[in-house]
Structure 1
Amino acid sequence: MPKTKSKEKMVLISVHLPKQMLEELDDLVKRGVFPSRSEAIRIAIRDLMMREDARSKQGEEALQLLVGR
């Protein structure tokens, strides 16, 4: 089973993508933007999680301002 740089085991998942999206992803890999499809998808998910975490923290801060803490 592949491992990340931190030696964490990776889990295989299946994802359905529109053909056009897969072609664009493959083009990014072909141009060397990403080393593989998997790495591109990992980076996209990581970025999504970071963005959602930041959005959640902003919401918590706004709530605290409204409550007066």
Structure 2
Amino acid sequence: MSLKAFNEMREPSYRGNANMERVTLRIPKQQIEEVEQMVETGEFPNRSEAIRSAVREMINEQQDDRHESSSKHTWAKV
């Protein structure tokens, strides 16, 4: 995703947002290096935004999977 596309779809600034919670996590060094590379190439403005984007994508995929699963059950009943 280009930085321009990211900036167009990203949520408002999170700095100082009372709805945000700080999370500490451990991930393999290779993965954080890949995230840092995405920041360096301009795909994301910083590591936090890259990780938030990955979490949003994971949540959207889960929601899509649930929707597809419930749709399949609906068709099976017909």
User: TM-score category by the smaller chain?
Assistant: 0.7 to 0.9
**Which residue of the other structure, out of 61, 64, 67, is the alignment partner of 1:51?**
61
Write the letter of the residue equivalent to 1:47.
E
Gaps of 5+ in 1: none
Q: Which runs of 5+ in 2 are unaligned?
A: 1-14
Q: Which has the higher contact order (CA 8 A, sep 6+)?
A: 2
1:18 Cα offset (Å): 0.3
Deviation at 1:9, TM superposition (A): 1.6
How do 1:24-63 and structure 2 match up within 5 A? 24-63=34-73
Moved over 6 A (4+): none
TM-score normalised to the size of structure 2? 0.76
Deviation of the 1:2 alpha carbon: 2.6
Larger radius of gyration: 1
- Aligned-pair identity in percent equals 28
